[in-house]
Amino acid sequence: MGGLWDESDAGVLRLPSGRLIRGRGLRHPLDPAAPTPSYALYLLGRQPAPVAWESRWLRWPDFRLPADRMDARAALVEVWERAVGERVEVACGGGRGRTGTALACLAVLDGVPAGEAVAYVRAHYDRQAVETPWQKRYVRGFAGPVTGAGT
């Protein structure tokens, strides 16, 4: 399971630092030929089914925001740090709203200005990512870059 994503794989977002993170909708079956993640963050209202790789669940109901914002920041920082050398996946039900919001927050951690992060994810991941006004506000208010960790 080692190695990184291929940038041409479906759902893979390249952050400005070069980190590759795959976004995915869990309602869509995983292509059996597609590589599996070494680590995944699942953004769901209820605990997901077990998977064969290391994962973390963040309570995040559909069309809403994370239930615990401090836990969400810690989980996203972990994803960002692990993406240096691991195949990391972020996924929700459809792969657009919550996943897009999380990817935009990861872009902010990576140095993209918060006011530009939604546009960045829409341009490089899914043009319909980040579905609600409150998700957009969450990204705009997300704390800036991580310094010194895993860079």
Q: Report yes or no on 2 lying in a domain.
A: no
Element (H, E) at 124: helix 117-124
- What is the extent of the structural domain holding 62? 12-140
- Per cent of the chain over pLDDT 90 is 79
Residues 26 and 52: their CA atoms lie apart, in Å, by: 15
Helix (H/G/I), strand (E/B), else coil: 97: helix
pLDDT in tens, 95-105: 999 999 999 99
- Which CATH number goes with the domain that contains 86? 3.90.190.10
CA distance 27 to 15: 25
pLDDT at 115: 95
Q: Is residue 146 one of the residues assigned to a domain?
A: no
Q: Can you tell me the distance from the alpha carbon of 139 to that of 114, in angstroms, rounded to the nearest whole number?
A: 6
What is the Rg, in whole angstroms, of the alpha carbon atoms belonging to the chain? 14
Q: Is the pLDDT of residue 150 over 80?
A: no
By percentage, how much of the chain surpasses pLDDT 70?
A: 93
Residue 98 neighbours by CB distance under 10 Å? 32
Does residue 104 form part of some domain? yes
Q: Which residue has the tokens 């195949």?
A: 87
Number of domains present in the structure of the chain: 1
pLDDT at position 1, please?
41
pLDDT in tens, 26-84: 998 888 888 999 999 999 999 999 999 999 999 998 888 898 889 999 999 999 999 99
Is the residue at 3 inside a domain? no
Name the pLDDT band for 147 (thresholds 50, 70, 90).
Answer: low
Q: Which neighbouring-strand residues pair with 12?
A: 22
